[in-house]
Structure 1
Amino acid sequence: MSTVKNRNILSGILFGLGLVAFIDETIFHQLLHWHHFYDKSTTNVGLISDGWFHAFSWFATIGGLFLFADLRRKNELSMIKWIASVLIGGGAFQLYDGIIQHKLMRIHQIRYVENVFIYDFVWNIIAILMLVAGLYLLFRSGNTKNEKVVY
């Protein structure tokens, strides 16, 4: 795998991971108040954990955008690989959150209701769809002989 392809993929994955984490934190933590990043302690600890989570998501997003700008400046940006990688990064984060953090570590649930199954199901299905779509686009773009670099 070439360095240019790796940098397109890394940029997209960082941006996708950061974007989905940012959306999760903004909608489910701040606007809907469904949970905090860490719910096994006091509300203050939950709020502090949300702050760290928010900072992490912004670092990933900004890092991905810096790489994006550098790829674009060097005329090495492959939009299809980048978009595919955004979907992969976002889907991977969401699936990790849904399986590892929600179910295995139990540091928080999507929502604290009697029947959380539907929330978990929708959360993880969306993650899987994002991953599958991203992987499909990435493999499809790898089979293109004369891939045009988008400026």
Structure 2
Amino acid sequence: MTGAIVGDAGHAPARSIRPIATAGMTIGIGMGGFFDGILFHQILQVHSMMSARIPTDTLLGAKVNMVWDGLFHAIVWFVTAAGIALLWRATARPDAVRSGRTLAGSILIGFGLFNLIEGTIDHHLLHLHHVYERLGVSAWDYVFLASGLALIATGWLMIRASRSN
């Protein structure tokens, strides 16, 4: 059995997608946060982390929101770094399935989870901000949630297709 990994009973260990999927979802959550912060907070400037509670139309309000945006980016940086560490550990595991499609699908699931959870909590429950702040709760907040569901479904389909190969 050259090159085969043999378990205690003389059988190859069961292969698992869990290590790569966990790493991918963690990276996806972090990347979803970065995408949100970079696109909506910085480039489009349609909201900031606390813009529904602390308006950004004064210098003080803008500065306070900038601090909250920075804290948000620090958190998603740590989440992304944790995902990279999990990915590094997963690649060292002999039982871990190494599949680019599973990794990509897991990243999409994590990105979708970010949109779904952050959108539900920050936009709808706590009203910290909305996708397009000037409109308040609007169709854009629901499109954001729907994008999360679409990303999760797409990622799940990718993983499912990779498992059948």
1:70 equivalent in structure 2: 89
Q: Which runs of 5+ in 2 are unaligned?
A: 1-13, 55-60
1:38 equivalent in structure 2: 50
2:73 equivalent in structure 1: 54
Q: TM-score, normalised by structure 2?
A: 0.75
2:116 paired with 1:95: yes
Which residue of 91, 101, 110 maps to 1:80? 101
Query: How far off is 1:78 after superposition?
Result: 2.4
Identity of aligned residues (%): 27
The CA distance in 1 between the partners of 2:19 and 2:133, in whole Å, is 39
2:31 paired with 1:19: yes
Higher helix fraction: Structure 1 or Structure 2?
1
2:11 equivalent in structure 1: none
Query: What secondary structure sits across from 1:113 in the alignment?
Result: helix
Deviation larger for 15-24 or 104-113: 104-113
Q: TM-score, normalised by structure 1?
A: 0.81
Give the AA of the match of 2:26: L
Q: Which runs of 5+ in 1 are unaligned?
A: none
Give the root-mean-square deviation of aligned CA atoms.
2.3
2:58 equivalent in structure 1: none
Deviation larger for 11-20 or 130-139: 130-139
Query: What secondary structure sits across from 2:86 in the alignment?
Result: helix
Which residue of 36, 40, 51 maps to 1:28? 40
CA contact (8 A) 2:49 2:72 kept: yes
Query: How far off is 1:73 after superposition?
Result: 4.7
CA contact (8 A) 2:50 2:65 kept: yes
2:147 paired with 1:126: yes
Judged with a 3 Å threshold, the aligned counterparts in structure 2 of structure 1 residues 38 and 115 are, in CA distance, closer, same or farther, namely: closer
Give the AA of the match of 1:50: D
1:130-145 alignment runs, 5 A limit? 130-142=151-163, 144=164
The CA distance in 1 between the partners of 2:80 and 2:136, in whole Å, is 33
Larger radius of gyration: 2
The CA distance in 2 between the partners of 1:113 and 1:135, in whole Å, is 34
Deviation larger for 105-114 or 62-71: 62-71
The Cα offsets for residues 16-64 of structure 1, whole Å up to 9 and x where unpaired, read as 0111100110111112221111221333321111111101111111221
